[in-house]
Amino acid sequence: MARRSLAPYVQRPRGLVQKELSVNGSALAIRWTAEDPVFFRISVNAFLDQLSLVMRNIRGFGSPPMRSLGRGKRTDT
């Protein structure tokens, strides 16, 4: 799931840095190819920011939905 969420971001050409995503069992593998260490570092940092967001998203919203009270609806009784 994380790979699918991040793949369109990874696929965008970013000049001197190339990224490839793959899944190995439950492990997400990323391969960077870069000529410039500065661009490499920037790319890694940016990617990790997005990965962190995806992981928090999966942890926060991945459980079965629970009905919650709100202004829009009342629970059935």
Partner 1 sequence: MQGFLPGDTARHHRAVILDLLQEALTEAGLTSQEIDCIAYTKGPGMGAPLVSVAVVARTVAQLWNKPLLGVNHCIGHIEMGRLITGATSPTVLYVSGGNTQVIAYSERRYRIFGETIDIAVGNCLDRFARVLKISNDPSPGYNIEQMAKRGKKLVELPYTVKGMDVSFSGILSFIEDAAQRMLATGECTPEDLCFSLQETVFAMLVEITERAMAHCGSQEALIVGGVGCNLRLQEMMETMCQERGARLFATDERFCIDNGAMIAQAGWEMFRAGHRTPLSDSGITQRYRTDEVEVTWRD
In this structure, what DSSP letter does residue 22 have? Answer: E
Binding residues for partner 1 restricted to 17-36, rule: CB under 8 A: none
Is residue 54 within 8 A of residue 5, CB to CB? The reply is yes
Exactly one of 27, 38, 65, 77 binds partner 1 (CB under 8 A); which one? 65
Backbone angles phi, psi at 63, to 5 degrees: -80, 160
Name the CA dihedral angle for 58, 28, 38, 46, rounded to a multiple of 10 degrees: -10
Q: Which stretch binds partner 1 (CB under 8 A): 20-28, 29-37, 66-74?
A: 66-74
- Provide, rounded to whole angstroms, the least separation between the CB of residue 74 and partner 1: 7
Binding site for partner 1 (CB under 8 A): 1-2, 4-9, 11-12, 46, 49-50, 52-54, 56-58, 60-62, 65-74
